[in-house]
A and B are shown apart, each in its own frame.
Chain A
Amino acid sequence: MSKNSVKPLVEVENLKKHFDINTGFLSTKPLKAVDDVSFSINKGETLGLVGESGCGKTTVGRTLLHLYKPTGGRIWYDGREIRTKEDISYLRRKASMVFQDPYSSLNPRMTVSDIIGEPLDVQKKYTNKNERRDRILELMNYVGLNSEHASRYAHEFSGGQRQRIGIARALAVDPELLVCDEPVSALDVSIQAQVINMFVELQEKLGLTYLFIAHDILVVRHISDSIAVMYLGKMVELSDADEIYNRPLHPYSKSLLSAVPIPDPKTARERKRIVLSGDIPSPLNAPSGCPFRTRCPYATEECATSMPQFEEVSKGHYVACHRVNEIN
C-alpha cells in the first residue's frame, strides 16, 4: 500500500502549551507541558502517542482541538489553518475526543440516549424527533450497543460498555478525526480487546483518522500506522509504527521499548532490558539542553548546553538526539 498519495488531515508545527504555575505570592513560572511539538496525521490513519505520565500527551490532544489555547505554534486541518473563532468552530465540527475514564466522563444521571443525543442537540444535527432517535440508534449500533440500552442510565453499565457509550457520543458530530485519550487503559484485557477491535472496525467503516494516546506500547503498536514518543513535553522520536518498534533510534525510546513487559516467557528471559536509573524530572525544573540527558546513558556536555533538533534521519523517521548517528 502506497502512502505517498495520502494527504495529511492534520498538521502541527512547533505546538506549545505552557501553563502558568503559581510559585508564591504574585510569582508564576511557566510549566512547559508541550514544547515545540511537530507532527502530521494522514487521512484515515492512526498516529499513536506514547510516553510516561506527565509527558504532555493529553495536553497535545487538547491543544490540538483548541480545548486549550495554544501558547505557540501552528495547526492546519485539511489544509486550513486554525486561527480565528470561525476556524475553531469548523475544527470542532470535524473532530472530537474520547476520554480515558468512562466512569467520570459520563453523567450517571443521564440516559444513554441523552448522552449520545446531547452533541446532536448542540450542533442541531436533526430536523425532527424521529430523525434524532434514528441517528442515536445508528450510533449505538456502530459501537455494538443494542437499542434496549437507550433508556438506561450510564451507571448501569460496565466499564467496557461505558466506553462504547463515550465513543458513540464522540461520533455523534460525524467527526473525521478522533483524539482518543487512553481510551482502553482502564479496561481489563479481555474487554480492552473488544474495544480496540471496535476502533479498528469504525476506522474502516467511517474512514476515521485517530490520534491514539496510550501508555501501553503493545496496544499502540497494534492500532497505529505511526508512533510518536514524548518525554517532558518534547517529541523525541516519530516514525512508522513497525520501524520505531523494531529499530528505535532515540535513547529514551530504546529504554522505553526495552522496558515493556512482553507477554512471552521465552522472549522475556532472552531480552536485554535497558533499565534507566533515576526519576523523570519535574517539568517545572526541566533540565537544560536535551530533556532526557539526566537519565541518558549517552549524554555528553553538548547535551546539557544545547537542545537537539527534531530532525529527519531517514525517510519519515524523526529523532531529536545529538548523538543519534554515533549510537546507532
Chain B
Amino acid sequence: MPLLEIKDLHTYFYTDAGKVKAVNGVSFSLERGKVLGIVGESGSGKSVTAYSIMQILEGNGEIVSGSIKLDGQELVGAGEEVMKKVRGNRISMIFQDPMTSLNPTYTIGKQLMEAIMLHTNRSKKEAYDRAVEMLRLVNVNEPLKRMKQYPFELSGGMRQRVMIAMALACEPDILIADEPTTALDVTIQAQILELMKSLQEELGMVIILITHDLGVVAQMCDEVIVMYAGSICEQGTVDEIFYNPCHEYTKGLLRSIPTTSDVEKLMPIPGTPIDLLNMPKGCPFAPRCENAMKICIKQPAETIKINDNHTAACWMNVKKGIDEGKIVFDNDMEGGDLQ
C-alpha cells in the first residue's frame, strides 16, 4: 500500500470574478523513502495541492472531489479531529517564509518546546532537551543561546533551520516543503538542501519538495511531477523527466533555462501565463503549445503510460503511438484531429 495516495483531486476557490479551478484532477501516489518534486510555474497549483493534503485551505476554497488516502485511511471528509492528528503527527509542512510558522513574540525555545509537548507526552524538562537536540540536528550553532532568542534575531537561513526543526519535532512520515529555499541565497540554499537530504536519509521520511527551480529538482528529487494550470502534465523518475520529457510543456520548460552547455539562444515558451478563469476546453497548455493539434484544443489529453517509470498527458504521445502502430485509432477521433 502506498504511504500517500491521491486520486482525481479537485480543489476550487470561489471569488467575485468566478470559480478558480486551482487543482484539476491531480492523482499520484508516494512510496516511503522518496523525495518527490512538484514543479511548475507560479499559479500552477503546487501550493494548493499541498494545502489540500494538509486541509489548510483558505476559507473561500474547498476540495470539491477526489480522494486523499494516508496509509489507506481516507482523509477527504474525515473531519478536523482526524486532520489535527494527521497534521501534528504524520505530515508536517514548511513554507517559503519561515515567519508564517514562527511566532515573532515567543522565543525559539518556547515555540519548539510547545510543538514537542503538543505532539508527544514529554515533560517540560524533556521537551527542553529534545528542543536543543532538534536544533543540533538541523545544524543550528550555539543551540542553547538560540533557545532564548526571538525569530527576528536570526538570519533567514537560521530561521529556515528552526522551522525545519519544528516541523520534524513530531517525527512526521511526510514533510511537505513549499519553496523552502526560494528566498535564500545560493550558498545558504545549498546548506538547507544538504540538511534536508541528510535528514531524509537519516529519519527515513518522505519529502514532497515544491519548487519552480529545475536545478533544485535535479539535485534533490527521485520522482518528479510537472504541473500546469492545476493539472499534472507529466510524472516520472527525475532522469525520465529530464532526459526523456514527453509533454510539450516540460520540453519547453527545459529548453527555456540556461544550462551549463553553451547554447547561443534560449528557446522560450511563447505566450502569456495561465488564466485560470478562462481555461481552454482541451489541453490547458494548448494555447501556448507550438505543436498543438486540432484534438488538443477540443479535448484534454489522456494520461498515457510511457514506461514503468513515466506517465504523460499530451496528445503527441497518442499520435506517436498511432504512428508506430502501438495504439489503435480511436473511433471517436476524426481523421484530421491529429494534425
Q: Which residues of A does B touch, CB under 8 Å?
A: 52-53, 158, 160-161, 188-194, 196-197, 200, 215, 217-219, 221-222, 242, 255-256, 258-268, 273, 275-280
Given contacts A191-B273, A261-B193, 18 further A-B contacts (CB under 8 A): A188-B42, A189-B253, A189-B257, A194-B268, A197-B266, A218-B215, A222-B258, A242-B262, A259-B190, A260-B215, A261-B186, A261-B216, A261-B218, A261-B219, A262-B215, A263-B215, A275-B187, A279-B157
Of all chain A residues, the one with the shortest Cβ separation from B188 is: A279
From the candidates A197, A200, A218, A277, name the one contacting B257 in the complex (CB within 8 A).
Answer: A218
Q: Which label, helix, strand, loop or mixed, suits the secondary structure of the A interface? A: helix
From the candidates A53, A222, A266, name the one contacting B185 in the complex (CB within 8 A).
Answer: A53
A276-B185 in contact (CB<8A): no
B260 interface residue (CB < 8 Å to A): yes
- B65 to chain A: which residues have CB within 8 Å? none
B322 interface residue (CB < 8 Å to A): no
- B189 to chain A: which residues have CB within 8 Å? 259, 261
Number of contacts between A and B (CB, 8 Å)?
A: 126
Would you give the shortest CB distance from B309 to chain A, in whole angstroms? Answer: 13
From the candidates B191, B212, B218, B269, name the one contacting A275 in the complex (CB within 8 A).
Answer: B191
A218-B188 in contact (CB<8A): no
A262-B260 in contact (CB<8A): yes
- A262 to chain B: which residues have CB within 8 Å? 215, 218-219, 259-260
A193-B215 in contact (CB<8A): no
B147 interface residue (CB < 8 Å to A): no
B158-A279 in contact (CB<8A): yes
What would 22 A/B residue contacts be, using CB atoms closer than 8 Å? Answer: A52-B186, A52-B188, A158-B272, A158-B273, A160-B272, A189-B41, A190-B252, A193-B255, A193-B269, A200-B265, A219-B258, A222-B263, A222-B266, A262-B219, A262-B259, A263-B218, A264-B260, A265-B218, A268-B218, A276-B187, A276-B191, A279-B157
B187-A255 in contact (CB<8A): yes
B257-A279 in contact (CB<8A): no
Q: How far is the CA of A278 from the CA of B161 in the complex (A)?
A: 12
Q: How far is the CA of A52 from the CA of B258 in the complex (A)?
A: 19
From the candidates A197, A259, A268, A275, name the one contacting B268 in the complex (CB within 8 A).
Answer: A197
Q: Mark B149-172, 1 if CB is under 8 A from A, else 0.
A: 000000101100000000000000
From the candidates B193, B238, B256, name the one contacting A190 in the complex (CB within 8 A).
Answer: B256
Would you give the shortest CB distance from B265 to chain A, in whole angstroms? Answer: 6
Q: Which residues of B does A touch, CB under 8 Å?
A: 41-42, 141, 155, 157-158, 185-191, 193-194, 212-219, 238-239, 242-243, 252-260, 262-263, 265-270, 272-273
Given A160-B272, A193-B257, answer yes or no on A264-B218 (Cβ-Cβ < 8 Å).
yes
B242-A260 in contact (CB<8A): no
B212-A256 in contact (CB<8A): no
B186-A215 in contact (CB<8A): yes
A218-B260 in contact (CB<8A): yes
Q: How far is the CA of A101 from the CA of B188 in the complex (A)?
A: 23
- B257 to chain A: which residues have CB within 8 Å? 189, 193, 218, 263
Would you give the shortest CB distance from B317 to chain A, in whole angstroms? Answer: 21
A189-B256 in contact (CB<8A): yes
Given A218-B257, A264-B242, A267-B260, answer yes or no on A259-B187 (Cβ-Cβ < 8 Å).
yes
Would you give the shortest CB distance from B158 to chain A, in whole angstroms? Answer: 7
Q: How far is the CA of A242 from the CA of B261 in the complex (A)?
A: 11
Would you give the shortest CB distance from A18 to chain B, in whole angstroms? Answer: 23
- A218 to chain B: which residues have CB within 8 Å? 215, 257-260
B256-A193 in contact (CB<8A): yes
Would you give the shortest CB distance from A162 to chain B, in whole angstroms? Answer: 12
Would you give the shortest CB distance from A241 to chain B, in whole angstroms? Answer: 10
From the candidates B158, B260, B268, name the one contacting A191 in the complex (CB within 8 A).
Answer: B268
- B158 to chain A: which residues have CB within 8 Å? 279
